[in-house]
């Protein structure tokens, strides 16, 4: 499987964020997007996720499901944790599993994987920033999608949670998945490639 972007361009607020951008990430590979604030790392992730329109270029997932778009085969973990505060941890994950077309039978294992099983019944509004982030990560575990698009995924995570996330990413990569992550620091992965984006600081 290969995620390939060619000659991609992105315009936001009438300003060109990048143009002529190309990358390739193979199954089992982690591609780290690096560069200064405002370089376009989040924009590229959102473009791949189908949340920002590309103004030029092509994006394909060779070896993926030809019936599905790239965004339909990707998980996007953004800065904001998309949670309903009045629903419990379990109910939030159930909502996402239904929305993403997964199986509710995987809720318990996914909450275990992010160490939230003990507070499964707590309303999401009571969660700390790190716990909210872990609940967002749980949907990546609960629903299989080959491409993980992660925007500064370690933000708000303590050391143990960062290690747990590294383990989940490694398992995903070992299973042939792809990780594309915007990051300002190491993610605890052994073997990564970097795509450096330039632009305004």
Ligand X SMILES: Nc1ncnc2c1ncn2[C@@H]1O[C@H](COP(=O)(O)OP(=O)(O)OP(=O)(O)O)[C@@H](O)[C@H]1O
| Chain residues that interact with ligand X, rule: CB under 6 A | 12-13, 17, 35, 37-43, 182, 200
Residue of 123, 113, 115 lying closest to 87 (CA atoms): 123
Tell me the CA distances in angstroms from 19 to 56, 94, 120, 129, 196, one per residue in order. Answer: 8, 39, 44, 34, 13
Q: Which is nearer to ligand X, 141 or 151 (CB)?
A: 151
d(CA 168, CA 29): 14
Smallest gap from residue 121 Cβ to ligand X (A): 34
Residue nearest ligand X, CB atom distance? 13
Q: Which is nearer to ligand X, 63 or 185 (CB)?
A: 185
Smallest gap from residue 199 Cβ to ligand X (A): 7
d(CA 44, CA 181): 10
d(CA 19, CA 164): 35
Smallest gap from residue 42 Cβ to ligand X (A): 3
Q: Which is nearer to ligand X, 142 or 152 (CB)?
A: 152
Smallest gap from residue 110 Cβ to ligand X (A): 27
Q: Which is nearer to ligand X, 37 or 80 (CB)?
A: 37
């Amino acid at each position: 499987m290969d995620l390939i972007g060619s000659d991609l361009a992105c315009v936001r607020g009438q300003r060109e964020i990048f143009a002529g951008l190309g990358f390739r990430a193979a199954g089992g590979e982690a591609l780290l997007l690096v560069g200064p604030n405002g370089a376009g790392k989040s924009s590229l992730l959102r473009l791949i996720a189908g949340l920002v329109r590309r103004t030029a270029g092509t994006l394909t997932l060779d070896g993926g499901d030809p019936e599905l778009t790239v965004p339909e085969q990707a998980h996007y973990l953004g800065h904001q944790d998309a949670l309903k505060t009045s629903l419990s941890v379990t109910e939030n994950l159930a909502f996402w599993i239904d929305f993403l077309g997964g199986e509710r039978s995987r809720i318990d294992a996914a909450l275990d994987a992010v160490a939230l099983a003990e507070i499964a019944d707590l309303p999401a509004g009571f969660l700390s920033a790190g716990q909210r982030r872990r609940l967002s990560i749980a949907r990546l575990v609960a629903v299989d999608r080959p491409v993980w698009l992660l925007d500064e995924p370690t933000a708000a995570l303590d050391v143990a949670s960062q290690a747990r996330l590294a383990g989940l990413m490694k398992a995903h990569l070992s299973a042939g998945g792809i990780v594309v992550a915007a990051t300002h620091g190491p993610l605890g992965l052994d073997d990564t490639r970097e795509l450096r984006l330039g632009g305004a600081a």
